[in-house]
Amino acid sequence: MVSPILVVIVLLLIALSFNIPFARFKIPPIIGYIFTGIIVSNIFHLDKHTIEIIAELGIVFLMFMIGLEFSPEKLKSMKKEVFGFGIAEMSIVGGFFGFVFWWLFDVDIRIALIIGSALALSSTAIVLKLLNESREISKPYGRIALGILLFQDIAVIPILIAISIIVNKDANLTQLVLKTISGFIALGIFMYIYGKYIAPFIISHATKTKSDEIFIATVLLVVLVAAEIAHFFGLSYSLGAFLAGMILSETKYKYQIEADLVPFRDILLGIFFVSVGLMVNIEFVIHNIGSIILMTVAIMLLKALLIYLMLKYFVKHNRIAIKTAFILSQVGEFAFVIFALLGKYSLVDNVLLQKLVVVVVISMILTPFIIRYIYKIADIFDKDVQNFEEFEIAPAEVSGHIILIGYDKIGQRIARKLTRAGIPYVAIDKQIELVKQGLKNGDNVIFGNAANKRVLESLNVEDASAVIITTLNEEHTHLITENLLDINPNLNIIVLTDDENEKEFYKNHNVYVVDKSKELAEKLIELALRCEIKK
Instruction: Report pLDDT digits (tens) over 246-255.
Output: 878 877 788 7
Q: Angle, nearest 10°, between helix axes 173-193 and 212-232?
A: 160
pLDDT band at residue 523 using 50, 70 and 90 as cut-offs: low
Q: Cβ of 260: how many Cβ atoms within 10 Å?
A: 21
Q: Whats the size of the chain, residue-wise?
A: 535
- % of the chain surpassing 90 pLDDT: 24
Is the pLDDT score of 166 beyond 80? yes
| Of 430 and 399, more confident | 430
How high is the pLDDT of residue 473? Answer: 77
Residue whose C-alpha is closest to residue 445's, from 481, 470, 462? 470
pLDDT at position 118 over 90 = yes
pLDDT of residue 54: 67
Average pLDDT of every residue of the chain: 83
On the question of pLDDT at 109 being above 50, the answer is yes
Q: Which of 15-19, 116-120, 278-282, 390-394 has the highest mean pLDDT?
A: 116-120
Q: What pLDDT, on the 0 to 100 scale, is given for residue 87?
A: 94
Report the pLDDT value the prediction gives residue 520, as an integer from 0 to 100. 57
pLDDT at 398: 54
Q: Looking at residue 212, what is its pLDDT?
A: 81
pLDDT in tens, 464-480: 889 999 887 777 888 88
pLDDT at 50 (0 to 100): 65
pLDDT band at 532; cut points 50, 70, 90: low
Q: Given strand 425-429, what is the order of strands in its sheet?
A: 445-447, 425-429, 402-405, 466-469, 493-496, 512-514
Average pLDDT of 67-96?
85
Asked if the model's pLDDT at residue 448 lies above 70, the reply is yes
Asked whether 501 and 508 are in contact (CB, 8 A), the reply is no
Q: Is the pLDDT of residue 393 over 80?
A: no
Mean pLDDT of 495-520: 74
DSSP state, residue 433 = H
Per the CB < 8 A criterion, the answer to whether 447 and 477 are in contact is no
Q: What is the pLDDT of residue 359?
A: 95
In the chain, where the domains are located: 1-46, 49-171+252-391, 402-530
State residue 531's pLDDT score.
64
Q: Mapped to the 3 state alphabet, what secondary structure does 404-423 carry?
A: EECCCHHHHHHHHHHHHHCC
CA 78 from centre of chain: 17
Query: Tell me, what's the pLDDT at 397?
Result: 46
Least confident window among 10-14, 63-67, 325-329, 493-497: 63-67
Tell me which H or E stretch contains 322: helix 318-327
Please give the biggest Cα pair distance in the chain: 84
In angstroms, the CA 262 to CA 77 distance is 27
pLDDT exceeds 90 at position 99: yes
Q: Is pLDDT of 345 > 80?
A: yes
pLDDT of residue 519: 53
* pLDDT at residue number 449: 84
CATH topology assigned to domain 49-171+252-391: Na+/H+ antiporter like fold (1.20.1530)
What mean pLDDT is predicted for residues 104-118? 93
Which pLDDT does position 392 carry in this prediction?
Answer: 37
Predicted pLDDT at 307: 97
Look at domain 402-530 and name its CATH class.
alpha beta
Q: Helix 173-193 to helix 140-167 angle, to the nearest 10 degrees? A: 140
Mean pLDDT of 260-266: 76
pLDDT at 395: 34
In the predicted model, is pLDDT for residue 280 greater than 70? yes
57, 299 in Cβ contact below 8 A? Answer: no
* pLDDT per residue as tens digits for the range 203-223: 888 888 888 889 888 888 888
Pick 71 or 141 by higher pLDDT: 141
Kind of pairing, strands 402-405 and 493-496? unpaired
297 or 375, which is more confident: 297
Residue 295 has pLDDT above 90, yes or no: yes
In the predicted structure, residue 114 carries a pLDDT above the cut 70: yes
Name the pLDDT band for 396 (thresholds 50, 70, 90).
Answer: very low
**Overall average pLDDT of the 403-409 stretch:** 90
Tell me the β-bridge partners of 513: 495
* CB-neighbour burial class of residue 99 (10 A; exposed 0-12, middle 13-18, buried 19+): middle
Of 17-31, 66-80, 421-435, 515-529, the least confident: 515-529
- Angle made by CA atoms 12, 18, 22, in degrees to the nearest 5: 135
Higher per-residue pLDDT: 30 or 112:
112
Confidence (pLDDT) at 389: 46
47 band by pLDDT with thresholds 50, 70 and 90: low
